Chains A and B, each alone.
Chain A
Amino acid sequence: MSSVLFDIPGPKARARHRLIMIVSVVLTLLALWWALSRFAAKGNLEAAKWTPFLTADIWVNYLIPGLLNTLKAAAISVVLAGAFGLLFGIGRLSENAVIRWISTVIVEFFRSVPVLVMMVAAFGLFSFNRVFEASINPLAAVITGLTLYNGSVVAELLRSGVGGLPKGQSEAGLAIGLTRSQTLRSILLPQAITAMLPALVSQLVVILKDTALGAIITYPELLTTFSQIGSYKSNPVPALIVIALIFIAINYLLTTAAAKIESRLRDKGRATIAKGTIGPPNPVDLKPVEEALIAADENVLHERYRTPDK
């Protein structure tokens, strides 16, 4: 409950809230009843349409293989996206302007192209050029699309994670004589990765949801099983609802895990970056960190060159 907008209710307000509650409960029940009756009118609530989901046949032959394919695509994409993100995230923090520029263009480009467009393009390219065996093409295309998009998001997360660290961290690293890349590797990145952990876990939800796009390019994942089950047991709507519940259950677990990690980190006094904070509308000001790095770097170099003379 948001305490900013409302005062603690007095007796009158409490009575009003009760009235609003009763009215909204009644309206909700009416809407629910209406929806269910429409569903029932088309026979969707008949037991015969739901009992197949209590048999092992549907689970073993359709739902579980579909779910495994979904998880497989998601898992491979997570690993590749992590590598992609690390590579270009560090690239964006590079002191070499060319590397920084190329990484920026790649990350921004893949972030603004729809995942589905990348999947369709990859699928076309792979099947036309016979890059993989025909049966692997859809999986490869799903993974390509997910990796390029989510890798770019991870790169951006990494960048904002490093940008959000206090300036003193990089200064301290340089002050004890580490080079810039050593500072990045052993001081800034570990902290940035911890800070972005909750956002990273909630990105898993995005990846898992986007594997369902594979249905459009004939990847046999969980969503596609609905048409097989639907035509086998003539219950497409119950099948879709069951599949939706499976997705919701898994994603809800992931979301809860992300929240738990975040609160745990906060208890330890570690900073975290919220998921909504990444993206072009929220530019991270890296100037202070960069300036500190360069300034401190020069000081360190001067010191090094000076000592032998003394």
Chain B
Amino acid sequence: MGELFSQYNVLGAFGITIVLTVLSALGALVIGTLVAIMRVSPVGFLNKLGALYVNLVRNTPLTLIIVFCNIGFIVNLGMSVSDDFARNNLVWATIGLAFYHAAFVCEALRSGVNTVPAGQAEAARSIGLSFGQSLREVLLPQAFRGAITPLGNTLIALTKNTTVATAIGVAEVAGLMKTMQEDRPDLMVPIFLVVAIGFVILTLPIGLVTTHLSQKLAVKR
């Protein structure tokens, strides 16, 4: 196993996986929050638009979205962000991952809002809080707590889904895994174990932290 680490830049590939995860998680959080605001807003049109986005994106395979980022945006439309081929694909993979997972972030936040009983809003308004105050002090804190678990699940899924970026040649772990398999077919099982355990190490803490947080911050009802 030591051979693999000395011969190949396993840690570097995991580094790219982590970079992809962090950047697209931030992007997904921003876009997802915007879509969630549209989804819960009282304006019918925005509501429908948000629902359309979520339904379209959620039902499309991520592989297709990532391939489209390359074929559609880079090759066909020439929307390059960098002259460097690898960097360009990395950026577009991040954008694709962010837009895909934004749909799940939106649903997570919405399910958080749905955990707040209507009585909370009524109570907040009846003690004289304004709309902004009741959102800030009463409703959103509860909604975010309710959203911790689904958000954590989305982050775990996102971490694993970064492997799809290999479809457009981003040098992350799954791509390296293919190369290693071709070079060293005798080490097939160790290669799988190294990659698999790497992902367990990446995702396990996320699960533990969100479990801890959701229990610690749970709203008693």
Real binding pair:
yes
Residue positions of A touching B, CB distance < 8 A:
1-7, 9, 13, 17, 20-21, 24-25, 28, 38-39, 42, 44, 109, 112-118, 120-121, 124-125, 128, 205, 208-213, 215-216, 223, 226, 230, 236-237, 240, 243-244, 247-248, 251-252, 255, 276, 279-283
Residues of B within 8 Å of A, CB-based: how many? 74
Shortest A146–chain B CB gap in Å is 13
**With A244-B64, A248-B56, A280-B207 in contact, is A2–B113 under 8 Å at CB?**
yes
B118 within 8 A of A: yes
B86 CB → nearest A CB, Å: 18
Q: Which of B2-10, B24-32, B87-95, B188-196 contacts A (4 or more CB under 8 A)?
A: B188-196
Who on chain B is nearest to A8 by CB?
B42
B40 touches A2 (CB 8 A): yes
B64, B78, B152, B163: residue with the most chain A Cβ atoms closer than 10 Å: B64
| 12 contacting pairs across A/B (C-beta < 8 A) | A3-B118, A21-B45, A21-B46, A24-B45, A113-B195, A114-B160, A125-B189, A128-B185, A213-B61, A213-B164, A230-B71, A281-B214
B64 lies within 8 A of A114 (CB): no
Set of chain B residues within 8 Å of A115, measured between Cβ atoms: 160
Q: Do the beta carbons of A42 and B76 come within 8 Å of each other?
A: yes
Which residues B75-104 have CB closer than 8 A to chain A? 75-78
Chain A: CB-nearest residue to B192: A121
Which residues between 157 and 179 of chain B lie within 8 Å of chain A, taking CB atoms? 160-161, 163-164, 166-167, 173-174, 177-178
List 13 additional A-B contacts (Cβ < 8 Å) besides A20-B46, A276-B153. A4-B120, A13-B42, A42-B76, A112-B199, A116-B163, A121-B191, A209-B59, A209-B60, A211-B61, A215-B67, A226-B67, A255-B55, A283-B211
Most chain A CB neighbours (cut-off 10 Å) among B63, B118, B139, B210? B63
Contact, CB under 8 Å: A112 / B174: no
Q: Is the interface of B mostly helix, strand, loop or mixed?
A: helix
B155: nearest residue on chain A (CB-CB)?
A281
CB-CB under 8 A for A216 and B167, given A120-B174, A209-B60, A236-B71? yes
Q: Is the CB of B64 within 8 A of A24?
A: no
The 8 A-B residue pairs whose C-beta atoms are closest, nearest first, are A212-B61, A251-B59, A280-B207, A114-B160, A121-B192, A124-B181, A212-B63, A281-B210
Find chain A residues with CB under 8 A from B121 CB.
4-5
Q: Which of B42, B62, B75, B167 counts the most A-chain CB atoms under 10 A from its CB?
A: B42
Does B68 lie within 8 Å of A112, measured CB to CB? no
Q: How far is the CA of A281 from the CA of B210 in the complex (A)?
A: 6
A129 to B, closest residue via Cβ? B188
Closest Cβ–Cβ distance, residue B141 to chain A (whole Å): 13
CB nearest neighbor in B for A279 = B153
Residue B43 is within 8 A (CB to CB) of chain A in the complex: yes
Q: Is the CB of A24 within 8 A of B46?
A: yes
Q: Which of A20, A116, A237 contacts B174 (CB 8 A)?
A: A116
In this complex, what residue of B is CB-closest to A20? Answer: B43
**Known A117-B192, A240-B68; contact A17-B63, beta-carbon cutoff 8 A:** no
The smallest beta-carbon distance between A240 and chain B, in angstroms, is 5
A252 CB contacts on chain B under 8 angstroms: 55, 59
Q: Does B204 contact A (CB under 8 A)?
A: yes
Q: How far is the CB of A90 from chain B (nearest CB, A)?
A: 23
Contact flag A276-B67 (CB < 8 Å), given A109-B196, A112-B203, A114-B160: no
A230 vs B67: C-alpha distance when bound (angstroms):
13
A39 CA / B113 CA spacing, docked (Å): 38
Q: Which chain B residue has the least Cβ–Cβ distance from A18? A: B43
